[in-house]
Structure formats: C-alpha cells, structure tokens
Structure 1
Amino acid sequence: MPPFGSLSIYSYSRLSAAGLKCGFSTDAVLARAGVEFDMQRRVGYDLTLANIVDLYTSAMAASTRAYFPLAMAENFSFDFLPEVEAFLSTSPTLESAAKIIDWLPALLVPEFQFSVQPKGSQIAFQVNIVGNNSSRPALNGIVDTVVGSAVLFLRKLLPSNANFQAHFAHSAGASNSEYSSVLGQVPVFESDFSGLLIPYAELGRPIARDSARVNALTALAIEDTIRTMSGGKSVAELVLKHLIRQVDASVVDVARALDVPARTLQRRLKAENTSFQAQQNKALSNLATQYLANPSLDVEAIALKLGFSDRHSFSRAFKRWTGQTPSNWRQKKSTI
C-alpha cells in the first residue's frame, strides 16, 4: 500500500480553488496539516481520517472570506476518476445511480460510512464518520462537504424541480444565506441524521436513456480502479501474506507494516466480510498444514512453533479450522 498523507495534483488544484475563495495560502495550510502532494499520484489522495481532520482544521482556521467546507463542496469533482461521473450520468434512474455509495468508502476514506434508511414515504441517504476525534468542528465540516457535494451532483443529474432535502445532525457552520447560495437550499440543521432525504417517487425519475452499455463499462472501470488502489489485492490477502510471515503479529503490527491505522485496517477487513482474527486463524491453519506435511515434525513441535501451549490446544484449534485432528489430516495426506 502507498503511504498516507499525499494529494494528487488534481486534488491539490481543487483545494487551491477553495483556498482562493476562502482567502488562504494552500501551501501554508498543507504544511500546517502535514500533507504533501504527489505529482505521480493519479487517484485523488491517500489520506487517513486524521490527515483530513488536520487539513480541515487548518483550512477552516485560515479562511477569511468563505466557509471552507462549502467551498470544497463547490470544487469537489471526480475528475481524477471520470468514470464516476460517467457512471452517474449514464445511470437509467437515481435508484441505480445509488450504487455509488458502495464504492465511496474505497474512493474516499474507509471511515466514511454510507447507508440507506426508509423514513415514511421518503428514503434517507445517510453519511456518518466513524472514528474518535476531538475536532468536532472539522468533522462537521467534512460532513458538510460530503453532503454538499451530493446536493450539487444531484442538481446536475436531475431536473430543476427535483425534490430532495439536505439534513445535518449538527448546527450550521455558516449563515443560512451561504448554504443557500452554494446548495440552492437551506438545509435542515440539528436533524437526527446527516445526508439527503429523498421521496421514493424521485428514485425512479429517469436520468439517462439508451446508455446501458456505457453505464456497465464505467461500473467495471470503477471497480478495477478500486482493486488497483489496493495493489490489485484485497486487504484480507495483504494481511494474510504478512501473517504467514509473522503469525504472532498483532493487528497494530500488521497495520504499521501496511502503513494504515489499526482501526482503518479493521474496518477494511470488515468491509470484505472478514476480520483480523479470521485471517490470523487462516494463517495458522495454512502454516499448520505445511508443517504437518513434513513427517519429521511431530505434533508437539508444530504446536510450539505456532505459539500454542501444548498439542491438545493446537489439536482443538486445528479441528475447528479443518474439521479434522492433526493426526487424521496427516494420515489422510500420507495415503494420497
């Protein structure tokens, strides 16, 4: 995995545009936040949530002319990955375009969680930021940018009479007139969620016609890009590879080796329907079968090599992993 803490030139240019509107020096803000830009990076950025909080804290403090989160919403674009906007603009309906929420954590930050909840005759597309951080103004600002960007994307996709409402669980970070000027509406503040509230009737509203092939191709391109961003391997594969080299490594050890925060690593594994413990068990099972294939190693020695206190605890674990005892596995292997 590439190191965190860098922006692509595309993201730098968007931040600079927001900086011009807000009246601050982009380079000074980046320096205070400890973030650099990488001319070789194509895909947006590689930042931890802590990086983004630091960046927002620095930019919001330096802003003198406008509210930075809304300026970022105005300037946010998937121009580093045009397939995203192509996918949205070629989706037959808003409901089919909503597939993007499955991709956003990988394209943005894993701590950004998106969900869909029914609310009477309407549906709420909700955003939540997971992670403990004391900088609440910055976290609220990040949510303002995410929801504000979604409002502006919808205004591009849907007719001007489309009915939807922005909601924020926090209080306003700027005047109502500033929100209205950027978003074309005054959001509902101190709501029970942050996101968009959309009538069910709007979900079937047509966006594009006769674009099914392009829509499918752009969806495949986005998924390919997400795989490329993780080095072509799933996070689970990367964790397993490390654990096979050092099976007793902790989640903190592996996270450090992969250059991600431990909480982020655990959430990425959860998104792949696994866990660190499951990958550690898989590594232990793989190593156990390798050792058992060597007839010169007795079960007691294998148990100790794998960190078990005795052969009985190892045997119980091995049976849990494979459905067989080590002796039965070795016996069957020898007859093949």
Structure 2
Amino acid sequence: MVTTMKPSRPLDMNVSDIPTFVVALAIAHAQEHGVPPERLLSGTGLNLDDIKNAGILISFRQAATIIRRMVRAIPDEPAGLAVGAKGALGSFGILGLAMLSSINIREAVAIGLTHHKEAGSLMDFSSELRGDEFAFILHERFPQPELLPFLCEEALSSIISLLRLALGEQVAPRRVEFSYAPPSYAEACGRFFQCPVHFGRAANRMVLDAALLDIPLTTSSPAILASSLKASVQALPVAEPMPDLVTSVESVLRGNLRERPTMTRVAAELNITERTLRRGLEAAGQSFSGIRDRLLERQARLLLEQPGQPIAAIAVELGFSDAREFRRAFHRWTGEAPSRFRQELPRADSE
C-alpha cells in the first residue's frame, strides 16, 4: 500500500509558503562552523530576525539559496544529519508535538504525511507498506542536485530522531537508501542511522519494521493532539502566499520604515536592478509605494493601540515630518483620523 500526499496547488519555487524552522537550524549549524548568517542571507531579502520569526514564510528559492551557500561553505560535512538531529521538535515544531501526542506511530505517521509542509519541510513524502516493512519515501519538490544529499539526510534524520524521542534511542531502520553517490562522510550516515546505508539506489527512502506502526505512545494525549494540530494550521496565513520578491521587499522596508528606503536602495539590497524590481512587482500585481503604505498602515495601527503613545511621537516613529502629515496619510489609508481609530478601540476593562 502506497500513500502519497499531492500538492494542493501548482508548485512555484518563488512563492513564500515555507516556514523557516529547517532554514533556521541550518543557519545555526553554519554559525557553529564559523559561517556568519549575513554570508548566507545576503541578497535574499531576508535577515536573521526574519528567520527567527515563526510567522514569516519564505520561498523554496530563498531556502535553497541559503542552504546551497551553507553546503559550499562547509563541504564534506554531514550538515543534513546534524540539522535533522538538532532536536526533532526543533525540526517539526508544533507538528512534532502533535505527532508525539498521537495514539500510536501509525497515527503519528498519518499526521506527519498530511501536515509536513506546515513544519517547513523542503522535500515531499509518501509512505509504503509491504509485508513486514514500512518505508518513508522522499520526493524532490524542485530538482536540486547539489542540495539533494542535504535535503534527504535532513528529512530522514529528523524522522528517525522523532521516532527515537518517542520510542527510545534503540530504534533503528532496517536500511536507508539514497539515490546519489556516496559522499565523503558516508560512514557517518551508517553510524547515525545505526543500519546499512546504501547509495546509488533508485529512490531515497528509509525502511523500518512495520511492527513499529502499532506501538502505543506513552506521550499520547488527545487534548494536546487537537490543540497542537489547530495551532500548527493557524500558524500559516489564510491568504494566498505572496511571491518571494514581494515578501523580500516587505522585509527590507519593515526594518527601515522610519528611514523610508527608496526603490533604488531596496533593489540594491536584493542584488537586482531597480527596473527588474519594478517589473517583478508589476507582474505580482503590486507596487513599491503600495507595499510601503501597507506596512506603514499596519505599524500605525499597532502603535495607536498603545495608549501612552502620543500621535506626534507615532508620526516621528514612522518617518513623517509632523503629526499633520501622518494624519493625512492615515485618513487616506483607512478613511478615518488616528484619534477616531483610537477612540473606537475596545477598552481594556470592557467585558
């Protein structure tokens, strides 16, 4: 029996739809080897605060750029194994908690196959049950030959780490198979998985004893399972994901709202020309000024919700020359004055 999870919409490597969990662990691993985050993030439109923000989504293109730079900076290093083993809950986030709260491994696997993208996975998964063997099979979302070892090793090492967290360190696959040639650290793969590891095979997969599927979990909790699954789904935006060029512009502007960086400066930070930036935004149905105004309005609303903040101080914080200019802009965005918006806010002592 084979179970495959199909994408809900056509794949686009430039769409920001991936949580940053795995990329954050990769950057932390690179830092441990003396590689500064700025070297990995340059030109991606992202900064370290973005990567640490669980509410930020990035594109596969951005993730691949960061990981490619890490792999090149520390060659011959089993980075995928290290990142996947950093902590199963670190890789899977809230989804890992949901899986550990399942009735048994079978239910945990079903949850993981259904919701793995919510944990920031960079590979797609299917499962296969044949006789007394159960296998996790990996599928490339976008072909990336240079990154394939990292992506496969990170995915399978995070899965086995979660199984060991649930059932004990003695858990080992029957065998692991990779489609690529043996890397220089091939022996480290055998030590980590504690089983035969084969390279140059037809598929990327990890085969386990099917009897593991029906082992009950001592950490099972229906209440935690329900709440963590709900939180995992709610962590992703309801709106259609934006192209990564738009989210990259938002990231640069968000960190410099008071300075009001120009399109020329933003384009330079993204390592593209201003003309390319303008055309890209037009293709996405966006404009530079529209993105800037959207961010300014959002920040203005947040600041106005703080009762101790004078409107004049908010105007300065947002880069306006004076309170009058800010009032005009806020009225243009919302159709009402800042003072009116503040008056309509719920009182802290209201029921």
Q: Write the mapping of 1:97-176 to structure 2, written as runs, cut at 5 A.
A: 97-98=108-109, 99-108=111-120, 112-131=123-142, 133=143, 135-164=144-173, 165-176=175-186
Which residue in 2 is equivalent to 1:256? Answer: 284
Letter aligned with residue 28 of structure 1: R
Letter aligned with residue 83 of structure 2: M
**Pick aligned residue for 2:72 from 54, 61, 65:** 61
* Closer, same or farther: CA 35–69 of 1 in aligned 2, 3 Å: farther
Paired with 1:257 and 1:32, the residues of 2 have a C-alpha distance of 22
**Pick aligned residue for 1:230 from 227, 238, 244:** 238
Once the two structures are superposed, what CA deviation does each residue of 1:52-73 show, in whole Å capped at 9, x if it has no partner?
2222221111115733222322
- The CA deviation at 1:178 is 2.2
Once the two structures are superposed, what CA deviation does each residue of 1:270-315 show, in whole Å capped at 9, x if it has no partner?
xxxxxxxxxxxxxxxxxxxxxxxxxxxxxxxxxxxxxxxxxxxxxx
Q: Which has the higher contact order (CA 8 A, sep 6+)?
A: 2
Paired with 2:35 and 2:241, the residues of 1 have a C-alpha distance of 39
**Pick aligned residue for 1:179 from 180, 184, 189:** 189
Which residue in 1 is equivalent to 2:230? Answer: 220
Which residue in 2 is equivalent to 1:83? Answer: 94
The count of corresponding residues between Structure 1 and Structure 2 is 235
Superposition RMSD on alpha carbons, in Å?
A: 3.8
SS of the residue 1:166 aligns to = strand
TM-score (norm 2): 0.55
Which residue in 2 is equivalent to 1:92? Answer: 103
Paired with 2:182 and 2:168, the residues of 1 have a C-alpha distance of 27
Paired with 1:7 and 1:91, the residues of 2 have a C-alpha distance of 23
Which residue in 2 is equivalent to 1:322? Answer: none
Contact 1:73 1:145 in 2 (8 A): yes
- The CA deviation at 1:25 is 2.5
Letter aligned with residue 256 of structure 1: A
- The CA deviation at 1:168 is 1.8
Contact 2:137 2:206 in 1 (8 A): yes
SS of the residue 2:42 aligns to = helix
Contact 1:22 1:64 in 2 (8 A): no
- The CA deviation at 1:117 is 1.9
Once the two structures are superposed, what CA deviation does each residue of 1:252-274 show, in whole Å capped at 9, x if it has no partner?
99983499xxxxxxxxxxxxxxx
Paired with 1:222 and 1:6, the residues of 2 have a C-alpha distance of 13
Contact 2:125 2:136 in 1 (8 A): yes
Letter aligned with residue 172 of structure 1: P
Once the two structures are superposed, what CA deviation does each residue of 1:176-205 show, in whole Å capped at 9, x if it has no partner?
332244444452322332232122211001
Contact 1:74 1:182 in 2 (8 A): no
**Pick aligned residue for 1:51 from 38, 47, 62:** 62
Contact 1:123 1:200 in 2 (8 A): yes
Contact 1:5 1:48 in 2 (8 A): yes
Q: Write the mapping of 1:195-214 to structure 2, written as runs, cut at 5 A.
A: 195-208=205-218, 211-214=221-224
Paired with 2:87 and 2:69, the residues of 1 have a C-alpha distance of 18
Paired with 1:214 and 1:234, the residues of 2 have a C-alpha distance of 28
Contact 2:105 2:215 in 1 (8 A): yes
Paired with 2:84 and 2:91, the residues of 1 have a C-alpha distance of 16
State which structure, 1 or 2, has the greater radius of gyration over its C-alpha atoms.
Answer: 1
SS of the residue 2:48 aligns to = strand
Letter aligned with residue 165 of structure 2: K
* Closer, same or farther: CA 37–209 of 1 in aligned 2, 3 Å: closer
Contact 1:60 1:68 in 2 (8 A): yes
Once the two structures are superposed, what CA deviation does each residue of 1:113-147 show, in whole Å capped at 9, x if it has no partner?
2111233421211121132x4x4121332122111
* Closer, same or farther: CA 161–65 of 1 in aligned 2, 3 Å: closer
* Closer, same or farther: CA 161–54 of 1 in aligned 2, 3 Å: same
Paired with 1:218 and 1:92, the residues of 2 have a C-alpha distance of 14
Once the two structures are superposed, what CA deviation does each residue of 1:58-110 show, in whole Å capped at 9, x if it has no partner?
1111115733222322336544974323212221211010111111124325x
TM-score (norm 1): 0.58
* Closer, same or farther: CA 168–76 of 1 in aligned 2, 3 Å: farther
